[in-house]
Amino acid sequence: MDKRNLTLLMDFYELTMGNGYFLKGLKDRVAVFDAYFRTLPDQGGFAIMAGLDQVIDYMEKLHFTPEDIAYLRQRNLFDEAFLDYLANFEFACDVWAVPEGTPVFPGEPLVTVRGPVIQAQMLETMTLLLLNHQCLIATKANRIVRAAQGRAVMEFGSRRAQGADAANYGARAAYIAGAVGSANTWTDREMGIPALGTMAHSWVQLFSSEYEAFKAYAEVYPQDCTLLIDTYDVLQSGVPNAIKVFDEVVVPAGYRPKGVRIDSGDIAYLSKRTRQMLDEAGYQDCAIVASGGLDEYLIRDLLLQGAKLDSFGVGERLITAKSDPVFGGVYKMVAVADETGALEPRIKISENVDKITTPGFKCTWRLFDRDTGKAIADVISLADETIPEDEPFTLFDPKAIWKRKEVDNFRAERLQVPIYEKGQLVYARPSVEAIRTYCQEKLDTLWEEVTRFENPHKYYVDFTYKLWQLREDMLMRHRV
């Protein structure tokens, strides 16, 4: 758990609105908010849910210290009774969320919060900050993992991340999505994500010759010897010196060389020649690792060119999701309790159709074909609805309702699970290893057409008729 108190990492308007709610007698008014995203990164077919554990960390530590209260008081904006409310803050919200590792799609609630409006509102910034970052990196990492076609992908991007938290939690997200480990040592100690690495060019440069550098490294790590062979010339010196050291140091010590790494140059050509040279020297089991500015497209092209590569170290283009670095999650109010406690739906309307919200307290279902186990579609319903499994169900596109499909022989699974009940944590937080395994299991339920890079099949997120009618009625009612 993060030991910092990040309670004030929130947009200032969350506090000014809270003060206003308090002074207007609305502090106990219950509201419902949904966190969701609008578009998929890189025009992909799906995203991966990640970051929930850090959202829980924030909620578990949510409190205002005397220093926080003193800071807010000196702003001369907040009523003293409101500051007293914050000083004695007790979290009382209900929270539901999609488990980490689940494939998710635009428009469906990832996290739903129901509770006193002041509290529900103040969760906005951190919930979005954490989900936007880790969902983005997990989604990008999985694209790279899929491009590697079963070869190991190592996350090598700590030094290019936008800050320490981005490096640490980016490594976590990448591991959930299928990376085998990270160069980040902190995440090994704190999260159990395997720390991986070889050597830097500076090691080779420190010694008077490449051979001496390789020999010294092999003497220290004969059981785990991977040599960086591109400091000077891969084929003329790097590979020959590596083979010489394997012969003279590693094998006599009773070990086999682990690998060589190529970080620059024409990696496809160099890997083929390196493989040939290693094989001829009797090191068919010595792996070849590629690194240096890689992403899913470059990896895919390398393999199409017949590159002889066994694993990849991917840095800046993974840890920053360089090709599409904004996830675009939003946090919107969708319902408010009336005087009796019944929830009244709320909607936000925009000239931009994608910014129109889906009103009401809702539930998201995933329909699975009973024969294949594959996901058919997701359906968003109102919370009091169920999806009957013993009769055919009609799917329809809420943006083009004439597009319809009747499905049967399916099972319906709720995507969100309870996280908090009246402020009490009720969710058993899984280990990062368990989340990683769960992620792979859920990815296997997607059709290949949804997972392809180019023009993936659109996976439909549909509405029940009752929800669609509610949204249409509210849109008509608010027309000017």
Tell me which H or E stretch contains 363: strand 362-369
Q: Low-confidence residues of the chain, pLDDT below 70?
A: 1-2, 480
> What is d(CA 176, CA 443) in angstroms, rounded to the nearest whole number?
12
Query: All domains of the chain, ordered by start, with CATH?
Result: 12-137+325-477 (3.20.140.10), 198-291 (3.20.20.70)
Res 3: pLDDT: 78
Closest by CA to 133, choosing from 98, 168, 107, is 168
- pTM of the prediction? 0.96
> What is d(CA 155, CA 267) in angstroms, rounded to the nearest whole number?
19
| Contacts with 21 (C-beta within 8 Å, 6 or more apart), sequence order | 27, 29, 117, 118, 121
Q: What is the pLDDT of residues 265-278, one digit of tens each?
A: 999 999 999 999 99
Measured distance between the N- and C-terminal CA atoms of the chain, rounded to whole angstroms: 49
Residue 50 is given by DSSP the state: -
Contact criterion met (CB below 8 Å) for 189 and 207: no
| Contacts with 36 (C-beta within 8 Å, 6 or more apart), sequence order | 106, 107, 108, 109, 110, 329, 330, 332
Tell me which H or E stretch contains 112: strand 111-116
| Contacts with 383 (C-beta within 8 Å, 6 or more apart), sequence order | 360, 361, 362, 363
Tell me which H or E stretch contains 132: helix 124-147
Q: What is the pLDDT of residues 89-112, one digit of tens each?
A: 999 999 999 999 999 999 999 999
